[in-house]
Chain A
Amino acid sequence: MKIPIAHKSTQRQQRFFFLSMIVLFIPCMLYLDLNYMQFKDGLSRIPDIVYKMLQISFDELPELLAELLTSVIVAFLCIVISVLFSFILAFLVAEKTTPNRVLSNVLRVIIVIIRTIPTTIWVLLAVASMGFGPMAGVLGLLFPTVSFLVRVFAAQIDEAGKDTVEAIKAVGGTWWHVVFNGVLPSLSTTFLAMIAFKFEITVAETVILGMVGAGGIGMLLQDYISFYEFAPLMLGVLTVFTTLFLMELITNQIRLRIGRRAR
């Protein structure tokens, strides 16, 4: 008889895990009614689509760029407005600076609720009430962006704020002094890095969210897909890729420089 080497309960857990995966997989396949024929048909169409996509035409470039600009502007407006809101809210939420514990906890719960609802749903809600267009984009993105920024800002305040808060409180400063003369100067660069990071994410989001009616380049891409216009679609995808790539490079640079200066 071979000598067993495994840890008994770990092994049992692993076996149980894989077994249940396999058992669940079969009913899931049946439920979705995945069809091999559809897969085969699609497969045969791929070379055709690739061929069509490779016929890049630059005719649509001006329109694409204009819409891309809209997307970036939507993201920018959204970030600026969110930053204004989240600055104040973050100081109300952060444990070290909140004037009232109850208020802080209520705000925390609200933020958690906002964050558990996906961004797409927020934009869809905004589209439903505001109608299609960039207005819905800015409004819909506002909720998740504000809640994200409040959470990170508050975490940073709590992490770095104790000494600063004590210093300004001890000289008899008001809550506003604690925030604007104490915490903000010591955290402004950290905040800037966070904002740059969130801006990059938001641009990516606006591109996708255009597809559900929030305006910008996403809307255009959605149109191309529905009308099987693969040539301009390819151009659109490339434009988006280039923009996001550049954006990432720029924000990385910003964060690096800020980080270096902070030290």
Chain B
Amino acid sequence: MTTILSIQQLKKRYEGGSTALDGIDLQVKEKEFIAIIGPSGAGKSTLLRCINRLIDPTDGSITFLGQRVDQASKKQLRQIRSQTGMIFQHYNLIDRLSVLENVLHGRLGYMSSLAGIFNRYSEADKKEAIELLRKVGLENEVYKRADELSGGQKQRVGVCRALAQQPKLILADEPIASLDPKSSTTVMDAIHRNCTEQGIACLVNLHQVEVAKQYASRIIAIKGGKVVFDGPPTQLTEQHTYFIYEGKEHEMFHQTKEEVYA
């Protein structure tokens, strides 16, 4: 299998002087479903945002499909971003627009500025978008306003928007952190099934280790801006998890407790 994303010695220091990433090395192969775990503030979110340059890295190199992301021009960057879908913790939908319009936004990366401004989406794109919504069980919500939906539904729209890009890679930043356990399962299922079916590689930030073990083909743990574990879920022992969440154990139990009550 070919490597689609290669990260070398990635570093990010914020203006205040805090170091978020301290030399990350990471190779992502085609069709891999990778869960990134770690306590809050470990740098998971920064890592994902560096990959599509929503945050500019301080040092190191990122290569995506043979293109240097860190040195990309504005135009190249747009092209790279159009091939990487992103799913956000707070869904980041445009509340006042319809569900369908939000999904169609995934096509903007392939459109000119003018075509986008006047919403000239092709009929084929529209059909595809409706089909995606049907697949995640939102066929009756197509023309609702995005803010009329529940959290779980919103996130499924977010997933559809990312899929509408027909990306090679999906970056999911804590996609279920604001959801209840039941919606979490629906959303994770939707991401996992679609990525597997369409051969999309996926990087998911999670802080629930159990969820990560359940879905991922590979787990990466980050602590203090460094990779401290990288391997298949079966190799992630309890000693590992305790080390990863050292001093922040409560975060580890957070989800399991909720599941008990649910």
On A, residues with C-beta under 8 Å from B are 163-164, 166-177, 180-182, 185-186, 188-189
Cα–Cα, bound, A48→B52 (Å): 78
Cα distance A163–B92 in the bound complex, in angstroms: 5
How many Å lie between the Cα of A173 and that of B83 in the bound state? 12
B104-112, B130-138, B180-188 - interface stretch: B104-112
**Listed residue (A167, A176, A182, A189) with the most chain B CB atoms within 10 angstroms of its CB:** A167
Given A176-B117, A177-B108, A185-B165 contact (CB < 8 Å): no
Asked whether B96 lies within 8 Å of A170 as measured between CB atoms, the reply is no
Q: Indicate whether A170 sits within 8 Å of B117 (C-beta atoms), given known contacts A163-B88, A186-B95, A188-B96.
A: no
A167 to B87, CA, bound (A): 9
In this assembly, does B151 line the interface, its C-beta being within 8 Å of a C-beta of chain A? no
A-B residue pair count with CB separations less than 8 angstroms:
86
B interface residues, how many (CB within 8 angstroms):
34
| Interface check B155, CB cutoff 8 A | no
Residues 77-104 of B, flagged 1 when their CB comes within 8 A of A and 0 if not, give: 0111111111010101111110000000
Contact A169 B116 (CB under 8 A): no
Contacts of A181 in B (CB 8 A): 94, 105, 108, 116-117, 119
A170 touching B94, Cβ below 8 Å:
no
B1 at the A interface (CB under 8 A): no
Residue in B90, B105, B110, B111 whose Cβ sees the most chain A Cβ within 10 Å: B105
Cross-chain contact of A173 among B80, B90, B95, B116 (Cβ < 8 A): B116
Neighbour of A185 across the interface among B54, B94, B112, CB < 8 A: B94
Query: Are B94 and A180 neighbours in the complex by a CB distance under 8 Å?
Result: no
- With both beta carbons as reference points, the residue of chain B lying nearest to A187 in the complex is identified as B96
Which residues of B in the span 36-54 have a Cβ within 8 Å of any Cβ on A?
A: 52, 54
Name the one of B82, B90, B95, B112 contacting A171, with C-beta atoms under 8 angstroms. B82
A169 touches B54 (CB 8 A): yes
Q: From residue B148, how far is it (CB to closest CB) to chain A in Å?
A: 12
Instruction: Tell me the complex Cα distance, A30–B203, Å.
Output: 79
> Are B96 and A176 neighbours in the complex by a CB distance under 8 Å?
no
Judge if B73 is at the interface, Cβ distance under 8 Å: no
Residue of chain A at shortest CB distance from B158: A167
Max chain A CB contacts within 10 Å: which of B86, B94, B111, B119? B94
Kindly provide the distance from the CB of B122 to the nearest chain A CB, expressed in whole angstroms. Answer: 16
Q: Name B86's closest neighbour in chain A (CB-CB).
A: A170
Rounded to whole angstroms, the CA-CA distance of A167 and B49 in the bound complex is 12
Interface string of B34-75 (1 = CB under 8 A from A): 000000000000000000101000000000000000000000
Distance, CA A177 to CA B81, complexed state (A): 14
Q: From the candidates A171, A186, A188, A189, name the one contacting B106 in the complex (CB within 8 A).
A: A171
Q: Which of A166, A175, A181 has the most CB of B within 10 A?
A: A181
Q: Within 8 Å CB of B88, what residues of A? A: 163, 166-167
Q: For the complex, what is the distance from the CA of A174 to the CA of B94, rounded to whole Å?
A: 16
In the assembled complex, 19 residue pairs joining A and B whose CB atoms fall closer than 8 Å, in A order, are: A163-B90, A166-B88, A167-B86, A167-B88, A167-B92, A167-B105, A168-B105, A171-B81, A171-B86, A171-B105, A171-B107, A171-B161, A172-B80, A172-B109, A174-B112, A176-B113, A177-B116, A180-B117, A185-B97
